Amino acid sequence: MKSDLELNSLAVDLRKDWEIDAYGPLDIFSIVLSKFSKLSILIYPMSKNTSGLCINEENIPIIGINSNHSKGRQKFTLAHELYHLLFEDINDIIICNDDKNDSEVESLISEMDKIVAAVADFKENCTNTKLVQELNPWLSSLNDVATGIKAILKSAQGSSTVAITTTAGIVAPLLPVLGLDSPARACLTVIAIGAGAMTVSHANDSYFWVVTNFGEMTPQDGYKTQTLGTLVIGVVSIIGVFIVSLFLH
């Protein structure tokens, strides 16, 4: 069973290898047919509890999809069966039933779509409402928001890498909406995200234990030094970014 981090990495690598926009929606049928010249997709009626199947005999892949299901469900099934073909060693036919617990496949598909959908909805809300105008009196830019998101994610789950990539995915589509798509403003936003990269390092961060162990400190001493130190780094950095943003446009 692959972890969520491994599945996320597979999803990101697949989009990159197929040269798919990291933030755009997926037309799964068009993409799959353009990438697999030998693939045959058969859409025909199946039993109610069967969503689809896949076969890969003599390197000739075949995916079957239940035509009795909705178009949206058929797209999900295609992505589901595609996981079997790409990441599993298929020696026989695989039939996927609704009652089968195939959480690993569903998690990969979820990793590919969930952030994209959330960002698209958020961007549409920002564009179609007065949210930007309401925020302007409080924020001269998105920089402190980016740092805040990054710091929250970092503090909550400990990984700076995951927090950076997640925040970048959320913030990037919003740059044009908030007028931050100029080179200078975009650079400041990147720096703002990085400002939260160490905010804050505590017990759920592996680096926290590296510092405390090599420094021969107790966890309590680590909180007083490493955790407070990274908090100061984050606060001072975003203040610096805010000051610079007043002069660069």
- Using one digit for the tens of pLDDT, what is the confidence trace for 199-210? 778 877 777 888
For the segment 129-157, the average pLDDT, to the nearest whole number, is 56
Q: Give the span between the Cα atoms of 156 and 162, in whole angstroms.
A: 11
Instruction: Please state the pTM of the whole predicted model.
Output: 0.41
190 prior amide bond cis, ω within 30: no
Q: What is the mean pLDDT of residues 185-214?
A: 80
Tell me the mean pLDDT in the region 120-143.
55
Asked if 80 and 73 touch (Cβ cutoff 8 Å), the reply is: no
Amino acid in position 178: L
What's residue 101's pLDDT? 47
User: pLDDT per residue over 62-119, tens digit each?
Assistant: 898 988 888 888 888 888 888 888 888 777 778 887 654 455 455 545 555 555 555 5
The strand ranges marked E within the chain are 40-44, 50-57, 60-66, 94-97
Contact between 230 and 198 under an 8 Å Cβ cutoff? The reply is yes
Q: What one-letter code names the amino acid at 174?
A: L
User: Mean pLDDT over all residues of the chain?
Assistant: 75
Residues 113, 78 contacting (CB under 8 angstroms): no
**Helix (DSSP H) and strand (DSSP E) numbers for the chain:** 11, 4
CB of 246 closer than 8 Å to CB of 140: yes
Residue among 46, 120, 121, 117 at smallest CA distance from 77: 46
Q: What are phi and psi of 168, to 5 degrees?
A: -60, -40
